[in-house]
Structure 1
Amino acid sequence: MLRKGDLVLFIGDSITDCGRRAEHAPLGNGYVSIFKDLVDVSHPQLRLHIVNKGISGDTVLGLRERWEDDVINHSPNFISILIGINDLHRYLWGEKEYSPENYYKAYSEILDFTRKRLDAQILLLSPFYISKASELDTFRHKVLKTIPSYIEKVEKLSTEYSTLYINLHEKFKERLSYIEPEAFAPEPVHPNRKGHILIALEIYKLILESP
């Protein structure tokens, strides 16, 4: 799926950023750098070029605003996109422009533009929320009730634009059957080292171990 010398670009919000513009430049200290380590150890002959364009707090509208500069102009061979949890939060805070429908519309515009400009493989990663809150009327419970609407949009886009896809929310949910959420994140949005390893490993398995 990846060839020697390919440029692999990761883009998203703080989960992707992970300090890549500050103390952990240039790749951050999250799943992007872990993915690079996995590839360097297992497939050093590929000599991939890894670029991290995550920005903390970003939404799909933010991605659309900077897409040409941060993605198209780099001419990547492979693009991984993880976006949506900030859109969901803003929607629950009353900002209707971040509704699932508008999320889908802006995301679709990004993918449509990319397909017209680049011959790149694309991987869509679903937003996720690492929590088991299920009964009390809390914000966490509202997020867990709402996030399927955003995940459904990503799945639909993946089908429509023939992209690769990983449901990260489901991957974390599977683990939470055996391990408490705190093992993967200090709070539901931002994974710790173990949570980032899960993300990196799922990406690695899909694009470097799938037949």
Structure 2
Amino acid sequence: MKKILTAFTLLIILASFTTFQKPERIIFFGDSITQAGVNPKGYISVLRDLVKSKGLENKYELVGAGIGGNKVYDLYLRLEDDVLSKNPSTVVIWVGVNDVWHKRSHGTGTDADKFEKFYNAIIKKLKEKNIKVLLCTPAAIGEKTDYSNELDGDLNKYAAIIRQIAASNNCQLIDLRKAFLDYNLVNNKNNEEKGILTTDRVHLNDAGNKLVAEEMYKHLIK
């Protein structure tokens, strides 16, 4: 009888552990694209719906931490308050567009060597807390498929830097630059500069949010 009661008690404990186990907290860390990602049709919300459709909504908690205009240095400065203090298990970093774009639009931006330095510093601080880190390449500053967008050269350079950072730090890479280019080669037959995946060459429309959510899902959800 005691053995039966003991086994029954263990089952109750195991069931309680399963029921009350905390979900995996995933923080999406970035700029205005990520800030908009929490909107009803934003990529974080679309990803949350995908997770729910698979019956996994209790397993994952998706948190947006995007601020418009942010560059890699801004992310470094707010890492403690906006990410580390929330104790995530996983962080998805998506930054780089403003580091390139603002060189032309605002006369600022981030030089490549400084971009790499601060990006690595962010990863180091996250890994010190045993946080899993995934890196995203910047997707687009213009959607033309013939590489005639004004900033294609710089954007490709910074995407290559992020690929190298991911490899050297043993981080998963979500190559949104490649995903956007591949999608536009198929769906942008008129070589439009916007309107396929973006509203304004940079920020996502519904199709862009869907594509990003699907790419995120492939790498994040098990």
Q: 1:194 to 1:66 in 2, by over 3 A?
A: same
Match of 1:6 among 11, 24, 30: 24
Deviation above 6 Å: which 4+ runs of structure 1?
A: none
Identify the match of residue 69 of structure 1 among 81, 90, 93. 81
From 139, 164, 178, give the equivalent of 1:128. 139
Confirm or deny that 1:182 pairs with 2:182: no
User: Which amino acid counterpart does residue 70 of structure 2 have in structure 1?
Assistant: D
Identity fraction in percent: 26
Provide the C-alpha distance between the structure 1 equivalents of 2:31 and 2:85, rounded to a whole number of angstroms: 19
1:98-117 maps to which residues of 2 (within 5 A)? 98-116=110-128
Give a deviation string over 1:131-174, Cα, whole Å, max 9, x none: 116476xxxx3311111110111111111211110110110111
How far the C-alpha of 1:87 sits from its partner, in A, is: 0.5
After superposition, the Cα gap between the structure-2 partners of 1:93 and 1:185, relative to the gap in structure 1 and judged at 3 Å, is closer
**Structure 1 pair 42/106, CA: closer, same or farther in 2 (3 Å)?**
same
Displacement of 1:206: 2.1
TM norm structure 2: 0.80
Q: Is the Cα–Cα contact under 8 Å of residues 79 and 123 in structure 1 kept in the other structure?
A: yes
Q: Which residue of 1 aligns with 2:59?
A: 47
The structure-2 alpha-carbon separation of the partners of 1:96 and 1:55, relative to structure 1 and needing over 3 Å to count, comes to closer
In the alignment, which of 33, 36, 41 is matched to residue 15 of structure 1? 33
Question: Which segment drifts farther, 83-92 or 58-67?
Answer: 83-92
Deviations 1:107-128 (A, max 9, x none): 1111111111x11211101001
Higher RCO (CA-CA < 8 Å; seq separation 6+): 1
Give the paired residue count.
Answer: 196
Paired amino acid for 2:27: L
- Tell me how far 1:90 sits from its aligned partner: 2.2
Q: Is 1:165 paired with 2:173?
A: yes
1:8 positional shift: 0.8
Kindly indicate whether the alpha-carbon contact (under 8 Å) linking 1:4 and 1:45 is maintained by their aligned counterparts in 2.
no
Equivalent residue letter for 1:10: F
Write out per-residue CA displacement over residues 53-110 of structure 1, whole angstroms, 9 at most, x where no aligned residue.
Answer: 1111111011011000111111101111110100101234585661122111111111
**For 2:88 and 2:205, how far apart are their aligned partners in 1?**
28
Structure 2: any 5+ residue segments left out of the alignment?
A: 1-20, 189-193
Letter in 1 for 2:133: I
Instruction: Tell me what 2:14 maps to.
Output: none
Structure 2 SS opposite 1:183: coil
Contact 1:9/1:79 (<8 A) preserved = yes
Distance 2:199 2:27 in 1: 27
Residue 49 of structure 1, CA deviation: 1.6
Contact preservation (8 Å) 1:12, 1:81 = yes
More divergent stretch after superposition (4-13 vs 78-87): 4-13
The DSSP-based 3-state class of the residue aligned with 1:38 is: helix
State the distance in 2 between where 1:19 and 1:150 align.
22
CA contact (8 A) 2:44 2:213 kept: yes
CA distance, structure 2, for counterparts of residue 135 and residue 164 of structure 1: 26
